[in-house]
Amino acid sequence: MEVRDIREGISFSEEKMRKVSLFDSPRLFCDLYCLLPGQEQRVHAHEGSDKVYYVVEGTGRFTVGEEERDLSEGHAVVARAGVPHGVRNASRGALVLLVTMAPPPRH
């Protein structure tokens, strides 16, 4: 059984948003995204992959398509395949997200 303690994976970088891999397979990935105030994942899109962001800690400003909304702990949002999406930490505190994507994009 593969088990991860999410709290142990939380770590930040002063330079940019940090991605911490929790699980990865040819069918999905599950990461922690750790953002300090002012950090962001720029708006982008993935053809053929859906992405779910779940807010573990803090508040993030999410863009999905033409909509922008602040979401806090306990909220989740989906970005369907091909829909532009991104997140910014516009708050004064840390932001931790659990992010799952299926299938994972292959570069």
Pairing of strands 59-64, 67-72: antiparallel
Enumerate domains of the chain plus CATH numbers: 19-102 (2.60.120.10)
pTM: 0.95
What is the residue-level pLDDT of the chain in tens, covering all 107 positions?
Answer: 999 999 999 999 999 999 999 999 999 999 999 999 999 999 999 999 999 999 999 999 999 999 999 999 999 999 999 999 999 999 999 999 999 999 998 75
Amino acid residing at 89: N
Nearest by Cα to 97 from 46, 43, 49, 34? 34
Torsion angle of the four alpha carbons 79, 26, 17, 74, in this order, in degrees rounded to the nearest 10: 50
